[in-house]
Amino acid sequence: MCGIVAAAASKNIVPVLVEGLKRLEYRGYDSAGLAVISAAGIERVRSVGRVAELETASASTRSVTGIAHTRWATHGVPSERNAHPHVSGSIAVVHNGIIENYESLRNELSARGHVFTSDTDTESIAHLIEATLQTAPDLFAAVRLACRRLVGAYAIAVIDHQQPGKVIVAREGSPLLLGLSDTGNYAASDASALLQVTRNMVYLENGDIAELTAAGVKITRLDGTPVDRPVHVSQLSAAAVELGNYQHYMQKEIFEQPEALANTLEIVGGSKTIQPGIFGAEAANLLADVDAILILACGTSSHSGYTARYWLEAIAGVPCNVEIASEYRYRTSVPNPKQLIVAISQSGETADTLAALRHAKRLGQNKTLALCNVPESAIVRECVLRFITRAGPEIGVASTKAFTTQLAALFLLTLVMAKVKQKLGPAQESAYIDQLRHLPVAVNKVLELESDIKVWAQRFADKHHALFLGRGRHYPIALEGALKLKEISYIHAEAYPAGELKHGPLALVDADMPVISIAPNDQLLDKLKSNLKEVQARGGELYVFADADSEIAASEGVHVLRLPEHYGELSPILHVVPLQLLSYHVALVKGTDVDKPRNLAKSVTVE
Ligand code: F6R
């Protein structure tokens, strides 16, 4: 949700700002803008659409100090007047987050003569800082005092042409880090934007404010107390955020899954057993006292949670519930202090998941586990236990490798819980670990189905609706398949547990409604086959993802693709892969913007 880049250096920083925005474009892409300090004052360039447009529009701009932004609209339509930076007097501001008290600030400042020119919440920050600067000793003090009046979430970067050569940044609730180098100092919403200039990163904490100049950085808390934050040398490889030979990030990330799984599972090493310690030093004691699990997540991450519920109850015998974070945080629920709260999030910054976690803790549920792909994220920092999936940066808006690595991590959690609850003998444990270790190879083989899936994709291009069916632990995989298809191809898709079909959705089935079915060779296959017959009898066209040994034959109106091997409990991790490929290729046929689907953005840091 919106990306920020800022720079104070001894060389022209406009190319750095633009390149940084390109890296952050996955966070929002409806408009972009930058502001720099020039001899004449603030020079601002804004454009609706992609960063490429801004690059052209700012081709002749030069400066050593500036701020830049790529937007995902919250307040006000995507338009040039609503694009950041917002300006008040000599001040320009970019912002990621939502200011909840912006209306009262706007009323107050309008009454004092400030003229607003946009519909955004951000503009009130610019005016507030300008007003505060009238009595504050300098820009740093003005931003610090102004931030204390803001309610909501923000990461901001501010420049003032009266005080050239410096950028002030601050964060509360939205991500922001600094990049330090000999030739200048930088800030951005994530490290990928700054790898072009440095690997030395400083993660700001909520309530931190920093002043950047070409010569150095100063960090304090909002009350003015100086703080030291450690410098991390980013291990992120530049290649990890490059497209390489791929056409899209989503395609790259689908094909990176074998490696992402291998990296995530490296923690198990060559061992035949698995220890609670992989979730943190306190895990053994904490998990011993757990009598239930509550998983909180949104979107794709919630689908990994739903899958894990089948594993946790069947293998570990632990009662498990999964709740959509935005629902849980606002409903009156019955807390259980012995319940393990598992927050699952690729970004670790999703506002609803973070708020649901905090809500769970406020209810006295303090046994918390973060399962995230971003180690320094807010959700990781706020949990007692943690497991970092090692999917690498996920840039395509549609989540793929983050999902399969979450599943692998949740299976590890299942094995640990099963051991803690003495439900897992050594032979079974070692067999599961062997299966996990073989996963990257198994996923690689599934990826070889791509050419057949491309042929199927052609048949979906003119469809307006699709139905996904699964049973048991593959029902959440049907949910994930439907989500992928709708978000990148804009085809309306619904997922149902196959047994529910006759309770309503069967009425939708006709020759125009493709029905995609996940049909692994498990104990529910015969039941599923009866459900598929019901579809066939109504003239529905079936697309079945079966296993090599699933007894389902292709026939008129029944298309079957077989995954190379049956994978038992871990089968959901294999079966989601062809669904990712299907939606990717349908989107290609339809010509949609695969990596940046309309209306969406990655890292939903607003409610
Ligand atoms: C779908 C997708 C979203 C995210 C959701 C949660 O492809 O990416 O549904 O899964 O916004 O995001 P995280 O996992 O970052 O909390």
Angle between helix axes 257-265 and 426-447 (nearest 10 degrees) is 160
Model pLDDT, residue 593: 93
- 525 has a pLDDT exceeding 80: yes
Q: Is 604 in the pocket of ligand 1 (CB under 6 A)?
A: yes
* Domain end position, chosen among 185, 213, 241: 241
Model pLDDT, residue 98: 86
Tally of CA atoms within 13 A in the half-sphere of 305 that contains its CB: 27
Asked if residue 115 is part of any domain, the answer here is yes
Q: Is 400 in the pocket of ligand 1 (CB under 6 A)?
A: no
CA distance 344 to 371: 5
Strands 152-160 and 166-172: antiparallel
CATH number for 303? 3.40.50.10490
Strand stretches in 72-216, DSSP E: 86-88, 91-99, 152-160, 166-172, 177-181, 184-188, 200-203, 208-213
- The residues, any chain, with a CB within 8 Å of residue 361's CB and separated by 6 or more, are 341, 368, 382
Number of separate domains in the chain: 3
CA distance 120 to 81: 9
Asked if residue 600 is part of any domain, the answer here is no
Model pLDDT, residue 66: 98
Q: Is 345 in the pocket of ligand 1 (CB under 6 A)?
A: yes
* 7 and 81 inside one domain: yes
Residue 181: domain span: 3-241
Specify whether 2 is catalytic: yes
Asked if residue 598 is part of any domain, the answer here is no
pLDDT category, 380, cuts 50, 70, 90? very high
* 572 and 481 inside one domain: yes
CA distance 254 to 583: 11
Q: Is 301 in the pocket of ligand 1 (CB under 6 A)?
A: yes
Instruction: Summarize pLDDT for 5-23 with one digit per residue, the tens.
Output: 999 999 999 999 999 999 9
Q: Is 350 in the pocket of ligand 1 (CB under 6 A)?
A: yes
* 422 and 462 inside one domain: no
Instruction: Summarize pLDDT for 159-212 with one digit per residue, the tens.
Output: 999 999 999 999 998 889 999 999 999 999 999 999 999 999 999 999 999 999
Asked if residue 42 is part of any domain, the answer here is yes
Per annotation, catalytic residue among 2, 147, 372, 383: 2
Model pLDDT, residue 10: 96
C-alpha closest to that of 159 among 205, 211, 120 = 211
pLDDT category, 72, cuts 50, 70, 90? confident
* Domain end position, chosen among 198, 216, 241: 241
Helix (H) or strand (E) holding 132: helix 122-133
**To which residue do tokens 């943190």 refer?**
280
- The residues, any chain, with a CB within 8 Å of residue 427's CB and separated by 6 or more, are none
Instruction: Summarize pLDDT for 317-335 with one digit per residue, the tens.
Output: 999 999 999 999 999 999 9
Residue nearest to atom 16 of ligand 1 (CA): 345
Centre of ligand 1 from the C-alpha of residue 567, in Å: 26
Model pLDDT, residue 243: 87
pLDDT category, 375, cuts 50, 70, 90? confident
* 427 and 467 inside one domain: no
More confident residue, 550 or 418: 418
* 211 and 355 inside one domain: no
Secondary structure of residue 170 in the 3-state scheme: strand
Give mean pLDDT, residues 401-424.
98
Give mean pLDDT, residues 107-128.
96
CATH number for 101? 3.60.20.10
Asked if residue 257 is part of any domain, the answer here is yes
* Domain end position, chosen among 192, 222, 241: 241
Please, are residues 345 and 295 in contact by the beta-carbon 8 Å criterion? no
Joined tokens for residue 471: 């049973």
* 348 and 433 inside one domain: yes
Give the burial class of 555: count Cβ atoms within 10 A of its Cβ; 0-12 exposed, 13-18 middle, 19 or more buried.
exposed
- The residues, any chain, with a CB within 8 Å of residue 296's CB and separated by 6 or more, are 305, 323, 325, 328, 341, 342, 343, 344, 353, 356, 357, 360
Specify whether 383 is catalytic: no
